[in-house]
Chains A and B, each alone.
Chain A
Amino acid sequence: MKIILYIIRKEFKQIFRNKGMLPIIFILPILQLVILSNAATYEIKNIELGYVDADHTRLSRGLMEQFKGSTYFNISEHFSSEKDANQALQKGEIDAYMYIPNHFERDLQNDKTNTIGVYVDAIDGAAAGIINVYISQIIQKYNKRIATDFVQISDTIQKPSSIDSIPLFWYNETLNYKTFMVPGILVLLVTMITLFLSGMNIVREKEIGTLEQINVTPIKKHQFIIGKLFPFWVIGMALLTIGLILAKVIFNVPILGNLALLYGYTSVYILVILGMGLFISNFTDTQQQAMFIAWFFVVIFILMSGLFTPIESMPKWAQFLTEFNPIRYFVEIIRMVMLKGSGFMDILPLALKTLAYAIIMNGLAVWSYKKTS
């Protein structure tokens, strides 16, 4: 036991003496959490909308007034031809444009329906879908208005039946994306730092030769490993704490659930990550190799964690793969506990999976660490 303490002391000394790394371990994540959380949003705002009005009537102008009044759209300009509008779309100067044909008002009065063209840059398919919905909604509203304008006494008014769908947004009435993203980004940062540090640390001792020196001492495997990894566990928990404080103070993210539960889970989670780092370092000879492998896994884990794109939308085989992605569990649990106030029983299945992962991962890592080759 005492021997472990000696190693822990040495590790902490080395970490805090490394002046170059300290800002990277603490300041960089904090900066990223604070700044980047503001970037993550799927809300579609500032839609650049152009239009071609070949009609120039009260009706067409009235329609455009609706859009000018909307907060989602910025009416960029009136193009004199479809060709010009298309070019602007190509250049990326506008996100969409509408084409109001000649005889627009006249046709509506006569035939009672008319069409306008809506062209949306659909490279971002999801955004395009939403833009289309917004445009349709504004046109619908305008339709209701003009119906009353145009109706004549002899016409029979047919009122369609309508089903109203009322959306109710639980846990996040204002659809605040930050509430969603901040805990997720915090998970990413804690994971990255602990994985990279633990992965590189042992390889570095390999490279400079002190690992061999240690292997010649009677120190037991588990003493060495626990001593080495414990400081990074502490750093991970510290980062979590700092992150939670920032989340509350700066972003006002609610903390509905039990903090002790969150810390308890995180302590197990970090063990998974540390086990991975150790495992990687057992099979690599240079820091470079260790980093590359760690990087490979981290990028995959991040993009497949359900943080940026939903896991439910992935094909079945990909969803299966995410079962092996520890970040996926942490992201889900931190949201459940913080934003919904989920309790111990609610997170139990996920927590148990994480625990199993921790045991297997660390078991593998310790087993593959050989003092004698």
Chain B
Amino acid sequence: MNNNKVIEVSGLTKMFGDFTAVNAISFEVEKGEIFGFLGANGAGKTTAMKMLIGISAPTSGQAKVAGFDVYKETESIKKNIGYMSQKFALYDDLTVKENITFFGGIYGLSKKRIAEKRDELIEELGLQEVANSLVASLPLGWKQKLSFSVSLIHDPKIVFLDEPTGGVDPITRRQFWEMIYKAAHNGTTIFVTTHYMDEAEYCDRVSIMVEGKIEALDTPKKLKEQFKVASMNDVFLKLARNIE
């Protein structure tokens, strides 16, 4: 297997009873890529992602994440990935420092390393003032950035972001994507789902899911050329209309 491919998916399917949420999707992601996993709400993005991060067993098909099989080696996958959920799942009733310490500990980092990372994160995000405040008191944008940083705390090979910019103002969104670039630059592969089509522009490659299937997969530039439109938003609209 090619060392450069960190995610390999082939014919992956998830069914809930009669309903097919993810319909035999296939794609590959290379190391250091920012891979956008686009689609409308309910298209099956989150379901697909859950299979890749090892918390949902596929109905059929194959997939490997960081070289490990999603059926049998989920625990190994989890050692090598980071995850930021839609709800920015941090503990509201713990402080910023306590959250960082906790997740660092869960990932098995040494005390020394946790302390290093903690100082690093707080410095980078400018959270010195609120380091000892409860996360509940932070504005949404700060929670989001903190959540992202926590997902990287153990220097994973791949980080999965599920709708990371929901409800956040444009400036913060911009700053957030700068953080993503930095991580990708350092060699971390980014797998991000979103329904904001403009964010697709920031990705190296995107795939667009419609009703469980991948209907388009390429760089944003090539997709715009293919559909002869000026923005990713229009690409999506065209796709959606074609399906109808």
Query: Which of A's residues lie within 8 Å of B, judged by CB?
Result: 2-3, 5-7, 9-10, 13-14, 17-18, 208-210, 212-220, 371-373
Contacts and interface: CB of A to CB of B under 8 A. Distances in A.
Contacts of B102: 6-7, 9-10
Interface in B77-98: 78-79, 81, 83, 85-87, 89-94, 98
B223 interface: no
Nearest to B83: A216
Which of A17, A215, A372: most chain B Cβ within 10 A? A372
Interface string B90-121: 11111000100111011110000000000000
Contact of B94 (A13, A212, A219, A373): A13
Interface in B33-60: 53-57
Contact residues of A: prevailing secondary structure: helix
B87 A209 contact: yes
A80 B57 CA distance: 83
Contact of B55 (A208, A209, A372): A372
B78 A10 contact: no
Given A13-B94, A209-B89, A217 B105 contact: no
The size class of the interface chain B forms with chain A is 20 to 34
A216 B93 contact: no
A372 B74 contact: yes
Contacts of A208: 87, 89, 92
Contact of B78 (A209, A216, A373): A216
A69 B235 CA distance: 100
Contacts of B108: 2-3, 218
Question: Ordered nearest first, which 3 A-B pairs have the shortest CB separation?
Answer: A6-B105, A209-B87, A213-B89
B57 A373 contact: yes
A14 B94 contact: yes
A215 B85 CA distance: 11
A80 to B, nearest CB: 70
Contacts of A212: 55, 85, 89
A10 B98 CA distance: 8
Given A2-B105, A6-B105, A13-B93, 14 more contacts: A6-B106, A10-B91, A10-B102, A209-B85, A210-B91, A212-B85, A212-B89, A213-B83, A213-B85, A213-B89, A217-B106, A218-B76, A372-B56, A373-B55
A208 B150 CA distance: 17
B102 to A, nearest CB: 5
Contacts of B178: none
Contacts of B79: 218
B75 interface: yes
Contacts of A13: 93-94, 98
Nearest to B84: A213
Contacts of B89: 208-210, 212-213
Nearest to B75: A218
B54 A17 contact: no
A227 B130 CA distance: 28
Contact of A214 (B94, B98, B106): B106
A13 B90 CA distance: 14
Given A3-B106, A209-B89, A218-B75, A373 B98 contact: no
Contacts of B87: 208-209
15 contacts: A3-B108, A6-B101, A9-B102, A10-B91, A13-B93, A14-B94, A208-B92, A210-B91, A214-B106, A218-B76, A218-B107, A371-B54, A371-B74, A372-B56, A373-B57
A132 B244 CA distance: 86
B159 to A, nearest CB: 11
A10 B94 contact: yes
A5, A213, A214, A371: most-surrounded residue (chain B CB, <10 A): A213
B188 to A, nearest CB: 16
Contacts of B57: 372-373
Nearest to B110: A2
Given A14-B91, A14-B93, A219 B85 contact: no
Contact of B54 (A9, A10, A216, A219): A216
Contacts of B53: 216
B104 to A, nearest CB: 8
A373 B101 CA distance: 28
A256 B186 CA distance: 69
B91 A17 contact: no
A186 to B, nearest CB: 30
Nearest to A219: B106
Contact of B93 (A2, A17, A214, A218): A17
A96 B55 CA distance: 69
B16 to A, nearest CB: 11
Contacts of B76: 218
Most buried by A among B53, B54, B94, B106: B106
A3 B79 CA distance: 14
A290 B156 CA distance: 36
Contacts of A17: 93
Contacts of A14: 91, 93-94
Contacts of A373: 55-57
Most buried by A among B54, B86, B87, B105: B105
Contacts of A217: 78, 103, 106-107
Contacts of A220: 75
B11 to A, nearest CB: 20
